Structure 1
Amino acid sequence: MDKLWNRWVGSSKSKRTKTQTRRMRRRRLRSESLETRKLLAANLFHNEAFPEDVNEDGEVSALDALTVINAMGEEGTAEPIGSLEPLSAQGNADLQQRRRGRMTDVNNDGRNSALDALMVINRLNRQRHENNRDDAGTDVPGADDPNESPTDADTTTDEIRSIDGTGNNVDNPDLGSANTPLLRVADNDYADGISEPAGADRPSAREISNALSAADPDGTTNERGLSSFVFAWGQFLDHDIDLSLEPETNGESFDIEVPAGDPLFDPFNTGEATIHLTRSEIAEGTGTSVDNPAEQVNAITAFIDGSQVYGSDQATADSLREFVGGRLLITEDGLLPNDDNQGVLAGDIRAAENVVLTSMHALFVREHNRLADEITAKNPSLSDEEIYQEARTIVIAEMQSITYNEFLPALLGDDALSRYTGYDANVDPSIANEFSTAAFRFGHTTLNDSFRFVDDDGNEIADDVSLANAFFQPEMLEETGIDPLLKYAASTLSQEVDLEVVDSLRNFLFGPPGAGGFDLISLNIQRGRDHGLADLNSVREAYGLETYESFDQITSDANLASELESLYGDVNNIDLWVGILAEDHTENGSLGETATTIIADQFERLRDGDRFYYENTMSDREIREIENTTLSDVIARNTNLNSLQDDVFFFSPEISGTVMAQASTTTTSTSDGEGEDLFAPTLIEEDALETLARDSGRQRDQGQDASGRNDRGQKDRPRDDGDRDTPLEPMVGAVLELVDGEGTVVDVAITDEMGRYRFDSVDESGTYVVRMALSDDYVVLGNDALDVQLNNGEENYRGMDFVVLV
């Protein structure tokens, strides 16, 4: 892999914020053998990335092995071996401190032993082996011991990942490959145990949708600050790992009954309206008996291998290539080209579903070609195939790192997945039916009802487009390009993960009702019944979770619990998709316990069962480079956007300040006739007070009109030149308003006992004004409104202060 990386000369961003560092949990590098991996599995290191770097000097050297050996001697009766004389006195003190912190216990088994030293030596040998490979990737003659046998990881680096996923598991070549059955974790719930749909005793899917999923007209944005990239990456990723198709001919209908009088789907109260659904294709030879029930097919590879960009079969992969310089086909404007049927040419058939998804496809085709061009420039003698495969390998690694180090921690919380301990051939990476047909469809609840077009400053540059009008409209990008939509996804809060879904998906999916339109929620529920998915409690039990005994254990929302009980009657009969989205969220994530468990299990298996997973095949240096490449970096390298936040999965700007009041100075007579000040704030000169009012915050110049009134019609209080000392104290309970560019008040804040206020739930980027609410109780000194320009999700406006006279 070093040969690959030496040709990749693209820059990467290494600087991270504290928040991002916390979210991006560093994963263990592969070990030299299975036995060593097992020893490492439960290890917790101060230096987690490189535990063999005992003295933490940034490299693994013979000094680290010597330090371990000396520590062994200090614990026993033997004298320390070797000498640490070259170290300074401070270096020796640091080393002793590390020993006391058990840094020398490399495998974390509670003692210093020869195994710790052996791990350091193995790391040294591997580094020597990697450093002595020539630019073509072959061993330099005589550089290594000719009797040294290559490790499993070394042999993997010389292989190329297949397009269709076959051969990843050497013993079971079809595991995770295209056109293989979905995995089923819980027993099926088919009505006949063979293939008949589940849920015959449940309400119509549309009835459930109407009762539970009608969206609040004002929307409900994500409470953890997840941006719209949670859906953009989630959908892009989903189209890399699973696809259930309907038969091309002779498909079996499983239409959804529409309640009589449904205002959209049965407006004339016929009682005969339905929403059409064709049952999914099942694997050949399945569905013959209760011992051989129907199993649906995953038409694409299960692995995170960029199949939405490169395809899951050779014919598709070839159709996407220029066959010159390792490049993929792309238009002069950097967009996906059209195929022979005037559809977009992409690795996945769903690439045109919406314009944000199409933008993501174009982004990663650009990234592939950027890498291919840089590889070509550095090594012009390479063949087209060599360049293509090297660029493809890097793109796949980037997708894997973004998924595991950014997307999943943002969605599930930092510690939802187990730590990586290396490839395990016994792990089945196949996609679970419970995952693809229910849990990973959480993203449908996160979409907003419209897409914005946003420039690099965070401002809208065109009218919003309704989500209902953004389906299958890739030609829209010919006018806008992909930049405004990617900036939108990073600069707008997603909707909350819950049962509410916007009208564009629930009532107008792919068209109006009666004219091709669908209800995506009804389709999700009905598809689960088509696939014979088990109910919520049965799935929880299959995944090792406790079952629910009552509806109020599922959700703390009493109204929702009551609706569930009214619809289902029995807590053991809830459709899986409904149940997982009704659950209260986990403490650190945006999903309930069931969905979190299903998703974590799936992505652990996709990682651990992938022999070509980037941490299992790349060198330490390559892994660091890959993990220093965020989705923000990929966007910046391939667009004209340069103001994105480092972590585009969060949009959480803050605006804060204080309101201080000039308090009246009231006196009362004392026994000696002296006046006593009832207030004890600090006194400042009035000139300084006015300077503070004028300079506080990042304010604009509001000015006054000829009448002496400011822009909001308030007249400034005349100053008393005789009073030179002005006391200030915090103003409690002051009301501040956040106003958007259209003059709409989008949020209100009230000052606390220290006069402080904060706006921390802004929905989107753009131009705002912070102002004091109109009141007869005070007059604002200086400007009563301050301008704010929110460019990205990490903006933090502090010191937006006001001073008032009361």
Structure 2
Amino acid sequence: MFIFAIEVFGPSKSNMKADVLLEYQRLVKRYGQCRRKTYKNCLHEAAQHIPLEDRCELPKGACNPHEKYSRVGGFCNNLKYPNIGKANTPYGRILEARYADGISEFRRTANDEEMPNARSLSNTINEASDFKCETVKCGDQTNNFVGIMFSQMVAHDTSSRKVVTMRGNNSNGISCCESSYSSPLPPNEINPSCIPIPLPRNDSFYSNKGIFCQSYVRMQPTLKDDCKIKYEHENIVSSYLDLNTIYSNSYDKLKGLRENYGGLFKMDPLNILPVDTTGQFTAGDFRFGQTPVLGQIHSLFYRFHNLIATNLGAVNPHWSNDDIFFETRRIVIAYYQHIIYYDWLPLVLGDRLCHSYKLTCRGKCDKYDPDIKATTTIEYAMNAFRFFHVNIPSNIHVVNDSGALLEKIPLSNTYLTVDILKEKYNAILRGMMKQKQRMNRVGYTGEVRNLFIKTKYRGKDVGVDGMILDIMRSRDSGTAPYIAYYPIPF
């Protein structure tokens, strides 16, 4: 139940090298070789005998400045620094990682104590009187449910973590708790990447179900893009706003999504989403099916692509399948980026901040600077861009073509059930447009905080606490305390 497997891939060669070097760092520190020097300098000297090619993947291939279309996966998006922002490279950082041992152990408090229990924090924050709001008064009067799902689309387009898996296994079979979820596994049985989370004995939701432990499996270590010996985390998607959620990060994956004619995607008979060789829904990003409302945002872009491709093919009958497809891809990505900068960001940040940080373009727009690193920062991916989780409503509204509400489906009943779109596509889309998102001040809904990826345990509905995941991801990534970022003049 608590083996959370939404973001899982088997370890790459780079991940395995990082595992070895990470253990090397721990041994160097454990046996006191760094007592007379700063740890950073000591480690650097001790690692000099490791060949460069064994520390990281060196850049391969060259960029063609005359290439018409941007590459899938982000390689050569920046001709000066081809690997910047491409898929399967480390996240960037605003501040240096903060780990208790200087390597990878979770940060501790100023009094050198363990950080507060994540579930206790979740309970304290969400049980505050100001956060207990599920009524219509909690609705945002400006933004609707579509805005939340578009935010999630942007999040998935720019970030995807990779968690530790068993060697040679592409599914996360790691649990940190006893099979009864009564306690963490004993030290001699637990995976080193496990961080079991004890749940309070008086927890208002889990305790009466006999659940007192939730698993958290850490992110895969990888190597810094400058080949230095340092523990970092890998972003398996490109950092660019290139709709890899639709077009994927690899040409092999993209090939499986496409028709062999007309520059089209291979859609199901109801024109909802692409289908794989077994006839099941698929997409450029594996997370498309978390909820039907997220799947619907993907669907709209796939439909839009095929509409543009059909029109382009009609006026350019001499174009090849690839010509139509990649020209359409360029147009669709341009629309997507325009929506982000002219419609979505002003709603999220406000016009004043967008203007202050030059996030909108007025008049001449040739502002490209190759020396600005476009790499997604880990602070953004694991912290700041979790903001919209508080906006997620408790229900999905189903609305008929007259605008009348037909039903409210609890969000937890829709996890991993994108097939519901086959029967209720238009009704759910109408509901998303009419339904208000929750206000920022009202905390996480119980559908996310207690029932995320819901399942049955001893006949009762249970799930993961989404706020716990957000707290643990922040700690796992070595994010510094908020107060350390406050003085930075962004």
In the TM superposition, residue 198 of structure 1 has moved relative to its aligned partner by 2.2
Quote the Cα distance in structure 2 between the aligned partners of 1:479 and 1:431.
37
How far has the Cα of 1:217 moved from its partner? 3.7
* Equivalenced residues, count: 384
- Could you tell me how far 1:452 is from its partner in structure 2? 0.7
1:494 & 1:260 partners in 2: Cα distance?
33
Equivalents in 1 of 2:455, 2:202: separation in Å? 17
Q: Distance in 2 between matches of 1:342 and 1:275?
A: 35
Match of 2:177 in 1: none
> Secondary structure of the residue that 1:442 maps to in structure 2?
helix
1:16-54 Cα shifts (integer Å, max 9, x gaps): xxxxxxxxxxxxxxxxxxxxxxxxxxxxxxxxxxxxxxx
Q: Does 2:409 correspond to 1:465?
A: yes
Q: Determine the structure 2 residue equivalent to 1:367.
A: 304
Given that 2:256 and 2:276 are in contact with CA atoms closer than 8 Å, whether structure 1 keeps it comes out as no
TM-score (norm 1): 0.46
Aligned to 1:283: 222
Conserved 8 A contact 1:312-1:347: yes
Residue 538 of structure 1 corresponds to which residue in structure 2?
484
Q: Secondary structure of 2:398's match?
A: strand
**In the alignment, structure 1 residue 313 sits paired with structure 2 residue 247:** no
Amino acid at match of 1:446: N
1:161 to 52, 66, 70: 70
The question of whether the paired residues in 2 share the 8 Å contact of 1:507 and 1:513 is answered with: no
The residue aligned with 2:373 is 428
SS of equivalent residue, structure 1 residue 166: coil
The residue aligned with 1:511 is 454
Query: Is the CA contact (8 Å cut-off) linking 2:397 and 2:431 kept in structure 1?
Result: yes
Q: Secondary structure at the match of 1:451?
A: strand
Structure 1 residue 437 and structure 2 residue 378: aligned?
no
Q: Counterpart of 2:147?
A: 230
CA distance in 2, matches of 1:201, 1:453: 45
Larger fraction in helix: 2
Rg: which structure is higher? 1
What amino acid is the match of 1:506?
R
Deviation by residue 1:754-791 (Cα, 9 ceiling, x = unmatched): xxxxxxxxxxxxxxxxxxxxxxxxxxxxxxxxxxxxxx
Question: Partner residue of 1:399?
Answer: 336
Counterpart amino acid of residue 253 in structure 1: C
- How far the C-alpha of 1:516 sits from its partner, in A, is 6.3
Q: 1:246 aligns with which of 157, 163, 166?
A: 163
Whether contact under 8 Å (1:230, 1:411) holds in the other structure is no
In the alignment, structure 1 residue 190 sits paired with structure 2 residue 107: no
C-alpha deviation, 1:281, in angstroms: 1.4
The AA in structure 2 aligned to 1:439 is A
- 1:169-568, aligned counterparts within 5 Å? 169-199=78-108, 201-214=114-127, 215-218=132-135, 221-223=138-140, 225-249=142-166, 252-267=193-208, 273-284=212-223, 292-340=229-277, 343-417=280-354, 418-419=357-358, 420=361, 422-460=367-405, 462-481=406-425, 483-498=426-441, 500-512=443-455, 514=457, 517-541=463-487, 543-544=488-489
Partner residue, 1:786: none
Equivalent pair of 1:451/1:467 in contact (CA under 8 Å): yes
Q: Deviations over 1:339-366 (max 9, x none)?
A: 3577521000100000111111111111
1:96-115 superposed matches below 5 A: none
Taking the aligned partners of 1:262 and 1:428, their CA distance within structure 2 comes to: 44
Matching residue's letter, 2:453: F
- 1:595-641 CA-partner distances (Å, limit 9, x unpaired): xx6xxxxxxxxxxxxxxxxxxxxxxxxxxxxxxxxxxxxxxxxxxxx
- Amino acid of the structure 2 residue aligned with 1:187: E
Question: What is the percentage of aligned positions where both structures have the same residue?
Answer: 26
1:220–1:253 CA distance, 2 compared to 1 (3 A)? farther
Distance 1:293 1:164, change over 3 A: same
Give unpaired runs (5+ residues) of structure 2. 1-63, 168-173, 175-192
| C-alpha distance in structure 2 between counterparts of 1:255 and 1:381, whole Å | 60
Question: How far does residue 275 in structure 1 lie from its aligned partner after superposition?
Answer: 1.3
Gaps of 5+ in 1: 1-154, 545-596, 598-806
Q: Contact 1:449–1:502 at 8 Å: present in 2 too?
A: yes
2: CA distance between counterparts of 1:220 and 1:280?
38
CA contact 2:97–2:478 (8 Å) conserved in 1: yes
Per-residue CA deviation, residues 672-729 of structure 1 (Å, 9 max, x unaligned), is xxxxxxxxxxxxxxxxxxxxxxxxxxxxxxxxxxxxxxxxxxxxxxxxxxxxxxxxxx
Q: CA deviation at 1:331?
A: 1.3
Superposed CA RMSD in Å reads 2.4
- Report deviation, 1:258: 0.8
Query: 1:466: Cα distance to partner?
Result: 0.7
Aligned mates of 2:340, 2:133 — CA distance in 1? 30
Q: Deviations over 1:553-574 (max 9, x none)?
A: xxxxxxxxxxxxxxxxxxxxxx
Aligned partner of 1:167: which letter? C
> Are the counterparts in 2 of residues 453 and 464 from structure 1 also a CA contact under 8 Å?
yes
Does the residue aligned with 2:308 lie in a helix, a strand or coil? helix
Q: Separation in 2 of the partners of 1:171 and 1:498?
A: 43
Query: Is this contact kept in 2: 1:302–1:431, CA < 8 A?
Result: yes
Q: 1:219 deviation in Å?
A: 6.1
1:171 counterpart SS class = coil
Equivalent residue letter for 1:212: I
Q: 1:423 to 1:444 in 2, by over 3 A?
A: same
Q: Report the secondary structure of 1:302's partner residue.
A: coil
Report the equivalent of 2:187: none
Relative to structure 1, the CA distance from residue 223 to residue 369 in structure 2 (aligned partners, 3 Å threshold; closer, same or farther) is closer
Indicate conservation of the 8 Å contact 2:91/2:375, yes or no.
yes
Give me the whole-angstrom Cα distance separating, in 2, the residues matched to 1:219 and 1:430.
39
> Looking at both structures, which has the greater relative contact order when contacts are Cα pairs under 8 Å and sequence separation is at least 6?
2
Q: CA 1:516–1:246 in structure 2 vs 1: closer, same or farther (change >3 Å)?
A: farther
| Cα deviation, residue 221, structure 1 | 2.6
- Residue identity opposite 1:210 in structure 2: N
Contact 1:166–1:175 (CA<8 Å) still a contact in 2? yes
CA distance in 1, matches of 2:241, 2:414: 27
Question: Measured at CA, do residues 239 and 268 of structure 1 come closer, stay the same or move farther in structure 2, by a change above 3 Å?
Answer: closer
3-state SS in 2 of match to 1:316: helix
Preserved contact between residue 309 and residue 324 of structure 2 (Cα < 8 Å)? yes
Contact 1:193 1:293 in 2 (8 A): no
CA distance in structure 1 between the partners assigned to 2:66 and 2:409 by the alignment = 46
